[in-house]
Amino acid sequence: MEFFKIHRDIPFMRHALIFNGVSFATFALAVFFLFSRGLHLSVEFTGGTLMEVNYTQAADVGKIRETVASLGLADVQVQNFGTSRDVMIRLPAQKGVSTAQQSDKVLAALKATNSDVTLRRTEFVGPQVGEELAQDGLKALAMVIFGIMVYLAFRFEWKYAVAAIIANLHDVIIILGFFAFFQWEFSLAVLAAVLAVLGYSVNESVVIFDRIRENFRRYRKMNTVQIIDNAITSTISRTIITHGSTQIMVLSMLLFGGPTLFYFALALTIGILFGIYSSVFVAAAIAMWLGIKREDLIKGPTKKDEDPNDPNAGATV
């Protein structure tokens, strides 16, 4: 399915050096902000108080969030838990304030607005648990990266694996850089979004690499730059359809999902936009500079050279 077909190849690789210079500058800034400002970690990583309250009727999560915020508590997470009447509240740790004192203060404020609220449980989440979550998250990220490299090395060739991983890490670091610069809250949901972006971004790279391999078989007289330009140009319609529909869904979560989904959707939005960019200008360009050639992918007889604008191109000779 195609919305349109471009009949002349767009010379993407002609400007690869410029775009990769911009990418390197953005990547360097992201790394700088990560080291200078750091991530603003949520209660899940830093530790704090966890409360579960129950209402006789459906709870107004927005009103509960406003009530708790009026106590001067920042970075409070409020969300439904199980049913619309059960609400989970995560409170950051406060120096000199015990878990019991903190939960009593919040419960009193909630009762002042709705006397039907009851406290189901309260517990303290220590920083050791948060440190363990952070370590597990880094392990998950490393395993995803390793799995992608192995998959691409087997499916294509090591040069493609290196190019795709550099492009994917480019996306991840830039997402983290945004969160460090603006000090947006980094939670487990955001970590899940980062892992999702890794898989999503590599999918676009695989599509382009597949078309490059197909073009190497089909157009024997075209050089590597022309092969890559044709591969990217011929997949633009598919990119617009898939990424456009995904971005619409993510934007709906960003705009209408409320505070609980906001940063999750924001990380996905940034990741999808940079994922498209990196697959075209970073992954493909790095593969070109690493010296990919027809012999890396073709291990058998090749097809007769064809005109990329020929409607019968691809037919078996």
Domain segments of the chain: what residues? 12-39+130-297, 48-125
Query: Closest by alpha carbon to 77, among 67, 92, 63?
Result: 92
Q: Give percent of the chain above pLDDT 70.
A: 90
How far, in Å, CA of 271 to CA of 175, rounded? 6
Asked if domains 12-39+130-297 and 48-125 share a fold, the reply is no
- Spacing of C-alpha 236 from chain mean position: 21
Contact of 32 with 176, CB cutoff 8 Å: no
| pLDDT > 70? residue 311 | no
Q: CA distances (Å), 210 to each of 29, 152, 206, 284, 296, in order? A: 32, 11, 6, 12, 13
* pLDDT band for position 75 (cuts 50, 70, 90): confident
Contact of 86 with 52, CB cutoff 8 Å: yes
Give the CATH class of 12-39+130-297.
mainly alpha
| pLDDT > 80? residue 24 | yes
Instruction: State the sign of the Cα–Cα–Cα–Cα dihedral 252, 254, 257, 258.
Output: negative
Q: What is the pLDDT of residues 224-241, one digit of tens each?
A: 999 999 999 988 888 888
Residue 198 structure tokens: 């890794």
Segment 90-98 mean pLDDT:
81
Residue with tokens 């989904």: 261
How far, in Å, CA of 209 to CA of 167, rounded? 13
How far, in Å, CA of 58 to CA of 49, rounded? 23
| pLDDT > 60? residue 314 | no
Entry pTM: 0.79
Cβ count near 40 (within 10 Å): 16
Of residues 54 and 297, more confidence is placed in 54
Cross-strand pairs, 125: 48
The pLDDT value given to residue 296: 67
How far, in Å, CA of 195 to CA of 199, rounded? 7
Is 48-125 a domain of CATH 3.30.70.3400?
yes
Q: What is the pLDDT of residues 128-163, one digit of tens each?
A: 666 777 788 778 878 887 887 788 778 778 888 888
The pLDDT value given to residue 4: 62
